[in-house]
């Protein structure tokens, strides 16, 4: 049986993977998040100069986000045509139609959700799509209310999942 210390240990390869994933994610988001990563190469003797030369150079270096641009181009090719979904007997079902318009319970449609999943997969190399459901009150067309299970999709990658998991512990 494992004790608490053994359960809280991380795999030896996780730190390297987390650092690489962090770099990829910061490169995609860009801006201040990328700057805080301090990815510029430090010059020899830079720390001996007056003031903090590295920080000055970091703030004065333009950081054009080529990663996001490249991913946007690939996504535009993939989603050039709107996906046609075959829902069979669920076609024109009001509950399914509502879910397709709000897939993650944050207002994101199925098409938008799939684009987000695609972007994260291109940045991180993989993505997890978690499907869960929530018991929710659903209004039918005839104004009577009925309880129904509504599926919710969550899109995440390993680093986000691990951060959420560790914050719960």
Q: Write the pLDDT tens digit of every residue in 2-56.
A: 788 887 887 778 778 888 888 888 888 888 888 888 888 888 888 777 888 888 8
Q: How confident is the model at residue 168 (pLDDT cuts 50, 70, 90)?
A: very low
pLDDT per position as a tens digit, 69-105:
999 999 999 999 988 888 888 888 888 888 888 887 7
| pLDDT at residue 50, rounded to an integer | 83
In a domain, 148, yes or no: yes
Cβ atoms 127, 156 nearer than 8 A? yes
pLDDT digits (tens, 9 = 90+) for 52-79: 888 888 888 887 888 999 999 999 999 9
- Rounded Cα distance between 91 and 108, Å, is 20
117 and 164 fall within a common domain: yes
Q: Name the pLDDT band for 143 (thresholds 50, 70, 90).
A: low
Pair 110, 55 in one domain: no
> Would you say residue 72 lies in a domain?
no
* Assigned domain for 4 exists: no
Q: Which among 1, 17, 19, 21 has a CA at the least distance from the CA of 123?
A: 21
Q: How confident is the model at residue 167 (pLDDT cuts 50, 70, 90)?
A: very low
The count of domains in the chain is 2
Identify the pLDDT of residue 8: 80
Task: Give the pLDDT confidence score for residue 159 in this predicted structure.
Answer: 56
Among residues 47, 64, 81, which one ends one of the domains? 64
Same domain, 48 and 116: no
Q: Is the pLDDT of residue 161 over 60?
A: no
Q: What is the mean pLDDT of residues 134-143?
A: 53
Number of CB atoms found within 10 A of residue 11's CB? 8
How much is the pLDDT for 39? 85
The reply to whether 58 falls in a domain is yes
Q: Are 126 and 140 in contact (CB under 8 A)?
A: no
Q: Can you give the residue range of the structural domain that contains 130?
A: 90-169
Residue 95 lies in a domain: yes
């Amino acid at each position: 049986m494992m004790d608490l210390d053994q359960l809280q240990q991380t795999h030896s390869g996780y730190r390297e993977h987390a650092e690489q994933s962090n770099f990829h994610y910061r490169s995609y988001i860009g801006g201040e998040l990328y700057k805080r990563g301090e990815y510029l190469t430090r010059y020899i003797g830079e720390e001996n100069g007056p003031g903090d030369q590295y920080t000055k150079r970091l703030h004065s270096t333009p950081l054009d986000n080529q990663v996001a641009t490249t991913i946007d181009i690939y996504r535009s090719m993939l989603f050039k045509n709107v996906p046609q979904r075959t829902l069979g007997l669920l076609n024109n079902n009001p509950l399914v139609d509502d879910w397709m318009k709000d897939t993650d319970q944050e207002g994101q449609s199925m098409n938008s959700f799939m684009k987000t999943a695609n972007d994260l997969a291109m940045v991180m190399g993989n993505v997890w799509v978690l499907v869960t459901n929530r018991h929710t009150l659903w209004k039918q067309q005839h104004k009577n209310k009925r309880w129904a299970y509504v599926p919710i999709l969550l899109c995440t990658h390993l680093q986000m999942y691990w951060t959420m998991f560790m914050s719960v512990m």
